[in-house]
Amino acid sequence: MSQEKQRPEWVPPEGGDEFTTNVMHGVEGGHDGMPGARSMPRSGHQRHRRRQLSVDDHVQGVLSGDRSILARTITLVESNAPAHMEMAQEVLKHLLPHTGNSMRVGITGVPGVGKSTFIEALGVFLCQHEHRVAVLAVDPSSSVTRGSILGDKTRMEMLVREPNAFIRPSPTGGTLGGVTRKSRETMLVCEAAGFDVILVETVGVGQSEITVRSMVDFFLLLMLSGAGDELQGIKKGVIELADALLINKADGDNKIRAQAARTEYNRALHYLAPATEGWRTRAYTCSAVTGEGIAEIWDVITDFRQKTTETGVFQNRRRSQILDWVYTMVEEHLRTRFFNDPRVINTRPRIEQAVIEGTLPATVAAQELLHIVEQRET
Ligand SMILES: Nc1nc2c(ncn2[C@@H]2O[C@H](COP(=O)(O)OP(=O)(O)OP(=O)(O)O)[C@@H](O)[C@H]2O)c(=O)[nH]1
Ligand SMILES: [Mg+2]
């Protein structure tokens, strides 16, 4: 099975055949870009590694919080092989009733802002307060830069040692669609395993903030102060997705500047529509290194959950997120079918040429292309 070449579930129009190969390399090479995953070398778990797990083994293992099986179930969920995908869906179906009981927090910010350091500080804080924390990453570029995001484990040294924490780097898989599916399903698996806080780190590239916003309850934007123009480095529109702005590195000489930036942002936020109905996005400061402000930002998140649950906004968002997700997958599937259709591939050059030369109206070109696919299907 692992030798077989597979198309990923979504291939960009310009992806070409190579895309298949790239994806398969990821799958063959250990499916998740995480050599030596989090398999705990406990003797009791050793035997599970030798044999194939059944659907029931996966379900029971995850529900009982067996970390080795949890890691293997996530690996299954991340696989692109059809047999694995089928089994993964079966496992997920059984896990579904046990999901949804966590606070899902997305964390974004420019490289170097301190996301990993912050997640470690918050994660350790939460573990000390009886929470169980799963850290996931969404990084569609990680198949290229391989593990840049959470790969540097030394950065989360303390959190890695917490028995109540689980860290999973971004799945490889090339496309944002593939990475997103895997991350969403991994999140569900972690919830079923009893993690009550899910922290999702994203790099600020491409569409990844929007993707992560669409899978979390609370979206946190980490920022820096005093980098010249206050908005420098932050993509336009990202502030509008955030439920809180957190100015990190508010320590030492930087503290006063961070506080000034907070005032400045709070003034600016006044003029923006909040990301979440009935909630006011504000700016805060913290230091991921000293830990100052970590407890406070968790209070903000807790307060958010309570307020939005009371108004029903929390549940509504989750409902619309899951439906949006269904249609996103439908769209991606249709798009793949269209662009991978050999007749579409053959006809495109001729039609594109005619459009460029001005002999064929764009609308007619679109109709002709769609007609090809529709013909095949009936
Ligand atoms: N002084 C100070 N330094 C910090 C703080 N948080 C992070 N740093 C430092 O900033 C640097 C970058 O931190 P990371 O946590 O790796 O940043 P990141 O946002 O995860 O970076 P990427 O993963 O590359 O996007 C490291 O050298 C950290 O030690 C902080 O609160 N105060
Ligand atoms: Mg990082």
Same domain, residue pair 72 and 169: yes
C-alpha 8 to ligand 2 mean position (Å): 26
Contact 133, 228 (CB under 8 A): no
Where among 323, 343, 365 does a domain terminate? 323
Same domain, residue pair 358 and 290: no
Amino acid 24: pLDDT: 34
Q: What is the DSSP letter of 239?
A: G
Q: CB-hemisphere CA count at 13 Å for 198?
A: 31
User: CA torsion 150→153→157→159, rounded to 10°?
Assistant: 30
Q: What is the DSSP letter of 281?
A: -
| DSSP string computed for 130-189 | T--EEEEEE-TTHHHH-STTT--GGGGHHHHT-TTEEEEPPPP-SSHHHHHHHHHHHHHH
pLDDT digits (tens, 9 = 90+) for 289-342: 999 999 999 999 999 999 999 999 999 999 999 999 899 889 988 998 899 999
Residue 142 has pLDDT above 80, yes or no: no
Mean pLDDT of 77-81: 88
For the ranges 49-63, 158-172, 232-246, 345-359, the maximum mean pLDDT occurs at: 345-359
Residue 147 has pLDDT above 90, yes or no: no
Q: 229: how many CB neighbours lie within 10 A of its CB?
A: 7
Residue 4 domain-assigned? no
Same domain, residue pair 208 and 351: no
Mean pLDDT of 263-279: 90
Amino acid 5: pLDDT: 52
Same domain, residue pair 364 and 303: no
Residue 218 domain-assigned? yes
Identify which of 32, 29, 33, 27 has the alpha carbon closest to the alpha carbon of residue 5.
Answer: 27
User: CA torsion 235→240→241→245, rounded to 10°?
Assistant: 80
Residue 215 domain-assigned? yes
Same domain, residue pair 217 and 262: yes
Identify which of 171, 147, 145 has the alpha carbon closest to the alpha carbon of residue 27.
Answer: 171
CATH of the domain at 337: 1.10.287.130
d(CA 149, CA 165): 17
Residue 367 or 80, more confident: 367
Residue type present at position 176: L
Same domain, residue pair 257 and 360: no
Residue type present at position 297: I
Contact 159, 96 (CB under 8 A): no
**Predicted structure pTM score:** 0.81
Amino acid 39: pLDDT: 40
Domain that holds residue 102: 18-323
Same domain, residue pair 250 and 330: no
Q: CB-hemisphere CA count at 13 Å for 15?
A: 21
Closest ligand by atom to 293 CA: 1
Residue type present at position 230: E
Same domain, residue pair 368 and 245: no
Where among 323, 352, 369 does a domain terminate? 323
Mean pLDDT of 91-105: 96
Contact 217, 105 (CB under 8 A): yes
Residue 3 domain-assigned? no
Residue 365 has pLDDT above 50, yes or no: yes
SS3 347: helix
Amino acid 242: pLDDT: 94
Mean pLDDT of 164-181: 79
Of 60-64, 92-96, 272-276, 357-361, the least confident: 272-276
Same domain, residue pair 208 and 333: no
Residue 252 domain-assigned? yes
Same domain, residue pair 372 and 288: no
Residue 149 has pLDDT above 70, yes or no: no
Amino acid 7: pLDDT: 53
Q: CB-hemisphere CA count at 13 Å for 339?
A: 17
Of 66-75, 143-152, 178-187, the least confident: 143-152
Residue 10 domain-assigned? no
Where among 286, 307, 323 does a domain terminate? 323
Give the number of the atom of ligand 1 that is nearest the alpha carbon of residue 252: 1
Of 93-107, 214-228, 302-316, 340-354, the least confident: 214-228
pLDDT band at 153 (very low <50, low <70, confident <90, very high): very low
β-sheet bridge partners, residue 246: 222, 284
The total domain count for the chain is: 2
Closest ligand by atom to 251 CA: 1
Same domain, residue pair 138 and 162: yes
Q: Residues with beta carbon inside 6 Å of ligand 1?
A: 109, 111-117, 149, 155, 203, 248-249, 251, 287-289
Amino acid 4: pLDDT: 46
Residue 222 domain-assigned? yes
Pocket test for ligand 1, best of 117, 155, 200 (most atoms within 8 A of CB): 117
Residue whose CA is closest, atom 28 of ligand 1?
114
Residue 281 or 206, more confident: 281
Question: Both tokens of residue 181?
Answer: 């599916």
Same domain, residue pair 331 and 294: no
Pocket test for ligand 1, best of 108, 110, 116 (most atoms within 8 A of CB): 116
Residue 2 domain-assigned? no
